[in-house]
Structure 1
Amino acid sequence: MQGKKHYQEKFFTNFQLSDRVPADNIYRKLKDILDLRFLYEATAKYYGKDGQKSIDPVVFFKLLLVGYLENQPSDRRIVNMAAMRLDILYFIGYDIDEELPWHSTLSRTRQLYDEDVFNTLFKQVLKQCIDKGMLTGKRQAVDSVYVKANAAMDSIREKAIMDDAVDFTRQLKEEDSSDDRPDRPEKPTNTAPKRNNATRASTTDPDARMSVKPGKITRLNYLGQLSVDTGSYIITSIGAFHADKKDSQCLEAVLDKIDSNIKGYGLTTEEIIADANYSSSSALETLISRGITGYIPNTGTYKQERTGFTYDEDNDRYLCDQGNALKFIGYKEHHGISKTYMSKRSDCKNCPARKTCIGKASYKTLTNSLKRPLFDEMHKRMSESYGRQMMIVRQSTVEPVIGNLIEYLGMRKVNTIGIKLANKCMIMAGIAYNLKKLLKYGINGSWQALIMLYGKPDYSIANIIT
């Protein structure tokens, strides 16, 4: 007999959210393992004793987590989504007839709390991973990614014009009652210099920087830096930097974050793996001063031997195969302080080897870093079998994590203004990622149980790769 459903809305019904949320639902599991009561004490200093009650700090952070877990960082859409989802309501502790916080409350509260509160939450989740034996902290893979800023390229103006506009507005206010008006600033001409971060900035988000990847268009971005434990794929540090900074300039700050996050739990980083963008004399010296072994390929400009050139140590110059000299002309910043050697134009003009040596250039230059022994040592380390395998480990560890954050955890673009808020957004994306790893670990069972069944794992390079 054919069934036919008749629906009539009830005025009264017996209903419990906990009965409607399945046992294997991600938010039900998070509610069981995530204890955020410490946030009440951590955020108490931001509130007075009088006035209206604010949003519950625990609810605030849970709603932010929902946004990243659902790949939807828009505050407005987070609240709209929560209103329609029983599992999210159960997670944040709201009933179906309770009014949710206004979306602008999320934005204001995000600005209210300092970065320390977000870092504290990150460390608490990381501690849960450490307590379960998920990571050792010994080896970290470091990498970076451009994260689109909440500003368009159309908002870019020359800094001098922006300053003139501010002065002009101030003068108008000061002389508003006067008949004499200051002359308007001249309009910018169409012959403006090439766009760069030194002379131009966004009026929407001055902290954003123009940057571009090969084959892509120029955008206003932030630079996300993160480190991943190679044994567990857990993020041990994450944060925002200005997009015009080199990776090598950020390495020391990344190491500080790693230490701050894991050292308090008795873990020590012994090895760092990174790509050639992190190679510089200052970066290598930082690793040595911290007692960390680095696996960072030298940049393409590094040459172990300079084919066709012999160094004359007594006269501090290079001699080419044709008998011409490249004399020392000074120092320059090139992956650290480097010495520059240059030939005479007249020597190269009629040289028979000119085409293969300098091509269309007028002279030959060579650069030698003052810290060349550091690069020589790194070249030797990376030429060995273990060093080559470390590059495979890096590629198979940190790059998939970045892809996961960008594609599925809302880190393609920040929805805030300013580097401080961008940093909070990236920290929350890292927390969401680590929580998913923590839940997956619980599903797959304890690593200690696997060790009991199959013995202690072999940490040889062959097994690291597999």
Structure 2
Amino acid sequence: MGLGKREHQQSFWVAADKLCNAPRNAFYDRLNQLLDEVKFDEQLEEAVEPYYEKSGRKGIAPGTYFRMIFIGYFEDISSQRGIAWRCADSRSLAKFLGFGPDEATPEHSTLSLTRERLPMEVHRFAFELILKATAENGLLKGKTLGVDATDLEANASLKSIVRKDNGDDWQAYLRKLYFEETGKDNPSDEELRRFDKGRKSKKKVSNDEWESATDPDSRIGKMKDGRFHLKYKAENAVDLETQVIVSAEVYYGNRGDTHTIEDTVNSAKTHLRETCPEKEVQEVVADKGYHSEHVLDVLQNESDLRTYIPEPDRKYQRTWTDKSPQ
């Protein structure tokens, strides 16, 4: 039995031919083949050319950037730092990105800078290229769409909210309320905390009156676990036959399901029309949170789609006397 070394001195250099070859990953190898077939890298490099300087240090290639985004999705990694660490740690993923055994993969800061540099139009173009590749390989049917949404916690704290009318933060707002009710000025932090905890009125925080100073597009809302937080709403339309995402939309966190499903379905139809015109959406499936008379009317009568949306349990009997038969 060999004994483990307690101390190990790293070699100063190692020849590339002495390094072990990265293990093959059939999924990522096949994915690279599909991307090559649709000239993914070439088309992206042409699309992003206006957003890069002609001189200076070369940035990360757009094909490499989007492959790292794919890895985050397939490996279920939500942070850019986690994606960069995973790519640096895995030889097979580095090979998928196009890096040799003696080359370092991009750091998370490079990934963040590239994301800030490229506009939404480039990301949408990359999404359409992927849809085109799936359609050409028989992985996209487009007949039946499943729509569902989830909450995305914003990268901002509730402590950062300010009043829209005067820019006061929460502490300044409490000081004014404290002065109105007690007539005392300059309370201590402890007095403010006791006052805020004990007051019975004006406890609710409205999105009409408050916004985040660091992320104005986020909205205050209740998360799935019951916590109140600044959030967004992500809604996807998925091809139910092949599980391919046809549309991925992000909305304000306080928009309800019945107010966004129409936009998501129309976005999916647009993507299909631009990538594979022969595909046509015919059916939409969603859970009971999407049920409303307006949604059913728009999807069935205006968009000519068959809907499968269950009606939620009602406390009271519905009244249909003022509704049309259709």
Tell me the TM-score normalized by structure 2: 0.77
Q: Aligned partner of 2:290: which letter?
A: Y
**Paired residues for 1:340-351 under 5 Å:** none
Name which structure has the greater RCO, CA cutoff 8 Å, separation 6+.
1
| Residues 337-376 of structure 1: CA deviation (Å, up to 9, x unaligned) | xxxxxxxxxxxxxxxxxxxxxxxxxxxxxxx696x23xx6
| Residues 60-85 of structure 1: CA deviation (Å, up to 9, x unaligned) | 11222223333323223333332232
Q: Is the 8 A contact 2:24 2:92 kept in 1?
A: no
Counterpart pick for 1:262 among 272, 281, 296: 272
- Does the residue aligned with 1:88 lie in a helix, a strand or coil? helix
Tell me how far apart the structure 1 counterparts of residues 310 and 224 of structure 2 sit (CA, whole Å).
20
Q: Give how far 1:211 is off.
A: 1.9
**Paired residues for 1:292-303 under 5 Å:** 292-298=305-311, 300-301=313-314
- Does the residue aligned with 1:294 lie in a helix, a strand or coil? strand
- Does the residue aligned with 2:249 lie in a helix, a strand or coil? strand
Tell me how far apart the structure 2 counterparts of residues 293 and 302 of structure 1 sit (CA, whole Å).
27
Counterpart pick for 1:228 among 235, 238, 246: 238
- Does the residue aligned with 1:15 lie in a helix, a strand or coil? helix
Counterpart pick for 1:290 among 303, 320, 323: 303
Q: Aligned partner of 2:56: which letter?
A: G
| Residues 126-162 of structure 1: CA deviation (Å, up to 9, x unaligned) | 2222222233211111111112111222223333342
Tell me how far apart the structure 2 counterparts of residues 292 and 304 of structure 1 sit (CA, whole Å).
27
Alignment correspondent of 2:190:
none
| Residues 260-295 of structure 1: CA deviation (Å, up to 9, x unaligned) | 221231111111122233233442332121211222
Q: Aligned partner of 2:115: which letter?
A: R
Alignment correspondent of 2:261:
251
Query: Is the alpha carbon distance of 1:3 and 1:51 closer, same or farther for their aligned partners in structure 2, counting shifts above 3 Å?
Result: closer
| Residues 170-225 of structure 1: CA deviation (Å, up to 9, x unaligned) | xxxxxxxxxxxxxx999442464511222222223221112225762222221111
Q: Give how far 1:303 is off.
A: 6.6
**Paired residues for 1:121-140 under 5 Å:** 121-140=126-145
Q: Aligned partner of 1:270: which letter?
A: Q
| Residues 376-409 of structure 1: CA deviation (Å, up to 9, x unaligned) | 65xxxxxxxxxxxxxxxxxxxxxxxxxxxxxxxx
Counterpart pick for 2:226 among 199, 216, 219: 216
Query: Is the alpha carbon distance of 1:8 and 1:152 closer, same or farther for their aligned partners in structure 2, counting shifts above 3 Å?
Result: closer
Q: Is the 8 A contact 2:220 2:229 kept in 1?
A: yes
Unaligned stretches of 5+ residues in structure 1: 166-183, 307-367, 378-466
Alignment correspondent of 1:32:
33
**Aligned alpha-carbon RMSD (Å):** 3.1
**Paired residues for 1:324-335 under 5 Å:** none
Q: Is the 8 A contact 1:25 1:87 kept in 2?
A: no
Q: Aligned partner of 1:243: which letter?
A: G
Q: Give how far 1:228 is off.
A: 1.6
Is 1:89 aligned with 2:94? yes
Tell me how far apart the structure 2 counterparts of residues 275 and 138 of structure 1 sit (CA, whole Å).
18
- Does the residue aligned with 2:280 lie in a helix, a strand or coil? coil
Identity of aligned residues (%): 28
Tell me the TM-score normalized by structure 1: 0.56
Q: Is the 8 A contact 1:76 1:103 kept in 2?
A: yes
Tell me how far apart the structure 2 counterparts of residues 193 and 227 of structure 1 sit (CA, whole Å).
37
Would you say how many aligned residue pairs link Structure 1 and Structure 2? 292
Tell me how far apart the structure 1 counterparts of residues 138 and 82 of structure 2 sit (CA, whole Å).
36
Query: Is the alpha carbon distance of 1:91 and 1:158 closer, same or farther for their aligned partners in structure 2, counting shifts above 3 Å?
Result: same
Q: Aligned partner of 1:290: which letter?
A: S
Q: Please, which moves more after superposition, 68-77 or 286-295? A: 68-77
Q: Give how far 1:109 is off.
A: 1.6
Q: Is the 8 A contact 1:248 1:278 kept in 2?
A: yes
Q: Is the 8 A contact 1:209 1:222 kept in 2?
A: yes
